[in-house]
Amino acid sequence: MMDNSSVCSPNATICEGNSCLAPESNYNAILSVVMSTVLTILLAMVMFSMGCNVEIHKFLGHIRRPWGIFVGFLCQFGIMPLTGFILSVAFGILPVQAVVVLIMGCCPGGTASNILAYWVEGDMDLSVSMTTCSTLLALGMMPLCLFIYTKTWVDSGTIVIPYDSIGTSLVALVIPVSIGMYVNHKWPQKAKIILKIGSIAGAILIVLIAVIGGVLYQSAWIIEPKLWIIGTIYPIAGYSLGFILARIAGQPWYRCRTVALETGMQNTQLCSTIVQLSFSPEDLNLVFTFPLIYSIFQIVFAAILLGIYVTYKKYCGKNNAELQEKTDNEVESRSSFQETNKGFQPDEK
């Protein structure tokens, strides 16, 4: 029998091949609950500050004319599950691992995308409306997508969808953002100050969540290399395909950036909850760390894309970027008068 002592943590209780899983100690369990509560409160505060950048009439405009939301919907529940299916087949991973990759692809957008949309000067009104709608639609689309894609490997009925967690995510998003929108409507100058503070706090929070996740589950980092590769490719594929589809659909550049982030930035906390509710300890050994791997790489690539955008704007195309944004806005404004069915309007560029 193969000796795993050289690759597994000394206190690991389940070892198989190159993967090992150690049970959480009581300390880690308590710390996990405390940090989860604290981070939820902090995230709600950050989303409140993001809401201070959302204008009510523009937000409602996206709801009444949901072409941008529809494009995001196609990316979220069309591109991501299909990409997960293709990656799973291409790498020939185990059935239980393929199912977890697909669960990740079927999850709604994460709230971190709203923070990053602000930093890349995206459409905050569209970003918040997309996150809200994708979380709400996930109540029906997640079971449907999982039924379509996972039946190749398992019975989709064995996958537990935590509707209470989805509901909690929706409430934690809608209420703080709604309050922020009201503050922006009543006290716009104060809202700008709150937004600046919240945007910085949000960036710190994103890094903090990744670090805490790595510390809490450090003994589960040894996992099959194929999942590391998929966890690296998947988010960048989501960002790229989301951007391309939005551009094909005639969206202006700042909305393309928004749709790209909404597509690649998944709700990894929800994925982790589903995985823990749906699989046995033996199966968790093979997949437990994948949501965390995806979470880290989606943040890393988002930070790289942000750096590229900031560098380009500063050194290469500041004036061109400003001119382009104005042109996009003019095209969008003219298109709104030409709409007859609130549908597709091609970009003039």
Which three-class secondary structure state does DSSP give residue 266? Answer: strand
User: What pLDDT, on a 0 to 100 scale, did the predictor assign at position 34?
Assistant: 67
**Dihedral sign computed on CA atoms, order 213, 115, 139, 93:** negative
Q: What is the pTM of this model?
A: 0.72
For the residues of 60-90, what is the DSSP string, one character each?
HHHHHSTHHHHHHHHIIIIIHHHHHHHHHHH
The single residue listed with the structure tokens 């039946």 is 151
Angstrom distance (rounded) from CA 75 to CA 246: 9
Instruction: Tell me what pLDDT residue 257 has.
Output: 92
Q: Assess contact for 183 and 52: CB atoms under 8 A.
A: yes
Question: Among 108, 158, 168, 164, which Cα is nearest to 275's?
Answer: 158
DSSP secondary structure, 264-307, as one string: H-B-HHHHHHHHHHHS-HHHHHHHTTHHHHHHHHHHHHHHHHHH
What distance in Å separates the CA atoms of residue 120 and residue 49, rounded to the nearest whole number? 16
Q: What pLDDT is attached to residue 2? A: 45
Place of tokens 């494009």: 71
Q: pLDDT digit of tens for each residue in the chain (349 aa)? A: 445 445 555 555 555 555 555 554 555 556 556 666 776 777 777 778 877 877 777 777 777 888 888 998 999 999 999 999 999 999 988 888 888 899 899 988 877 888 888 888 888 888 888 888 888 888 888 888 888 888 877 765 667 777 777 777 778 778 888 888 888 888 888 888 887 887 777 777 767 766 666 665 555 556 778 888 999 999 999 999 999 999 999 889 999 999 999 999 988 878 877 887 777 777 777 777 888 889 888 988 998 998 998 888 888 765 554 545 555 554 454 444 344 334 434 443 3
Please state, in angstroms and rounded to a whole number, the distance separating the CA atoms of residues 329 and 168: 35
Burial letters 302-334, b for 16+ CB under 10 A, else e: beebbeebeeebeeeeeeebeeeeeebeebeee
